[in-house]
Structure 1
Amino acid sequence: MNQVKVIDHPLLRHKLGYLRDKDTYSHEFREIVKEVSKILVYEAMRDWKHLEPIAIETPIAKTMAERIVKPPIVVSIMRAGNGMLDAVLSMIPRASTGFIGIYRDKFIHNTVEYYFKMPQDVQNKEIILCDPLIATADTIVAAIDRLKNYGVGKIKVISILASKTGLERILHFHPDVEIYTVNIEEQINELGYLVPGLGDAGDRLFQTK
């Protein structure tokens, strides 16, 4: 899976251990998710080509600097993706933001969209799609479908953990998507949770059940 980039780093492994730990408090969990999200988007933006030169003056001398132009649209798959959003935007402050509310309904065995809000000009814009966990990948595949219906450009997904089957499912339907993650989980249990995973990211971020 060449489109999947596993960001293996001692600091990320250290932080992932705290995210997995059920005794990590919610406020700590939120802060670590933000820290990990910054590193993931740093990697996702590594090959960014849209830069323009600008003349500036340091305290010592005049010089040239670079500014990002045509910034990506950062899209959160609610609600767990919102836990990553501020951190990603802090790294790309000129980026605009979109939101997709979507979930998998276990009774109808299909995804249900309840909210979709994008900036006006999305055509051909690169997308950074945020979702902390990819398990069955039903919701993220549906989200990518919707984005492509709007004619967006390249889509990059940042996710803290992803299942092997979920990644295969995404790339089956969308082989052009790039995915950046900290670790690939081999199992999903009967309730659809990653194993060993870290539980329900939304519940742990926002102290809900």
Structure 2
Amino acid sequence: MNDNCRVIEHPVIQHKLGYLRDSDTESAEFRNIMKELGRLLAYEATRDLDLREDRVHTPLMETAVRRIAKPPVVVSVMRAGNGMMDGILSALPFASAGHIGIYRDKFINNTVEYYFKIPKDSKSRQILLVDPLVATADTMISCIDRLKQYEVGEITIVTILISPEGLKRIHHFHPEVKVVTASVEEGLNDQGYLLPGIGDAGDRLYHTR
């Protein structure tokens, strides 16, 4: 496994992932679990954030405390990334947020961007790039390319599932990008779906199957 990929095997995360895999899990429960996984994975993805020292007054005395020196920017890859966004922002209320709308068009065999908005002060800031599923990684690589045009800082992908093929391609084009995930899957089927996977995350989130 690449040193820049961290698989989080915490029992609580794996327990919740089991419910996402279950085809009997309804959309409302699926949304709640994905939100919870976003919050839990956010802690791991921000493990190395820099801290600064500050001074506060407790009810009894003045003391030193440590606070996040430079809050990250959470960027959701729409639409499925939005299912994790609220959970991550609940864990990181001091973070700002952006959105990228991008998809792979099978007719032109390329990615198409239809929306892009990140905070104006994103230069040099750590990015948490959020998408619950990374299969072929075509859209993820395009998102990283676009973010680098804005001279952002370190990029960490926060995903629930990623394929071995997708992980390899990401680190071929962007070897420094970190990945935090709950599982590296067995592979992809002929339609590009992750195996064993959770199906189409967007459809299951928003009941559009």
Q: Secondary structure at the match of 1:19?
A: helix
Provide the C-alpha distance between the structure 2 equivalents of 1:175 and 1:52, rounded to a whole number of angstroms. 29
Provide the C-alpha distance between the structure 1 equivalents of 2:53 and 2:70, rounded to a whole number of angstroms. 14
Match of 2:153 in 1: 153
Provide the C-alpha distance between the structure 2 equivalents of 1:6 and 1:90, rounded to a whole number of angstroms. 22
Normalising to structure 1: TM-score of the pair?
0.96
Match of 1:179 in 2: 179
Structure 2 residue runs of 5 or longer lacking an equivalent are: none
How far apart are 1:27 and its partner, in Å? Answer: 1.1
Match of 2:203 in 1: 203
Provide the C-alpha distance between the structure 1 equivalents of 2:76 and 2:114, rounded to a whole number of angstroms. 14
Provide the C-alpha distance between the structure 2 equivalents of 1:92 and 1:17, rounded to a whole number of angstroms. 25
Match of 1:37 in 2: 38
Q: Secondary structure at the match of 1:146?
A: helix
Counterpart of 1:48, as a letter, is L
| Deviation sequence 1:156-203 (CA, Å, 0-9, x none) | 000000000000000000001000000111221111110110001111
Counterpart of 1:171, as a letter, is H
Match of 1:84 in 2: 84
Match of 1:72 in 2: 72
Counterpart of 2:118, as a letter, is M
Count of matched residue pairs: 208
Q: Secondary structure at the match of 1:31?
A: helix
Which residues in structure 2 correspond to 1:120-139 (within 5 Å)? 120-139=120-139
Match of 1:144 in 2: 144
How far apart are 1:79 and its partner, in Å? Answer: 0.4
Provide the C-alpha distance between the structure 1 equivalents of 2:208 and 2:125, rounded to a whole number of angstroms. 34
Match of 1:16 in 2: 17
| Deviation sequence 1:61-112 (CA, Å, 0-9, x none) | 4322222132011000000000111111111112111110000111111110
Q: Secondary structure at the match of 1:192?
A: coil
Provide the C-alpha distance between the structure 1 equivalents of 2:14 and 2:153, rounded to a whole number of angstroms. 32
Structure 1 residue runs of 5 or longer lacking an equivalent are: none
Provide the C-alpha distance between the structure 1 equivalents of 2:3 and 2:55, rounded to a whole number of angstroms. 38
Provide the C-alpha distance between the structure 1 equivalents of 2:72 and 2:11, rounded to a whole number of angstroms. 28
Provide the C-alpha distance between the structure 2 equivalents of 1:44 and 1:162, rounded to a whole number of angstroms. 15
Q: Is 2:109 the partner of 1:102?
A: no
Counterpart of 2:4, as a letter, is Q
Q: Secondary structure at the match of 1:12?
A: helix
Segment of structure 1 superposing worse, 23-32 or 56-65: 56-65
Segment of structure 1 superposing worse, 76-85 or 116-125: 116-125
How far apart are 1:58 and its partner, in Å? Answer: 3.0
How far apart are 1:57 and its partner, in Å? Answer: 3.0
Counterpart of 1:3, as a letter, is N
Segment of structure 1 superposing worse, 89-98 or 173-182: 89-98
Counterpart of 1:201, as a letter, is A
Counterpart of 1:98, as a letter, is G
Counterpart of 1:148, as a letter, is K
Match of 2:164 in 1: 164
Normalising to structure 2: TM-score of the pair?
0.96
How far apart are 1:60 and its partner, in Å? Answer: 4.2
Match of 1:117 in 2: 117
Q: CA RMSD in A?
A: 1.1
How far apart are 1:140 and its partner, in Å? Answer: 0.3
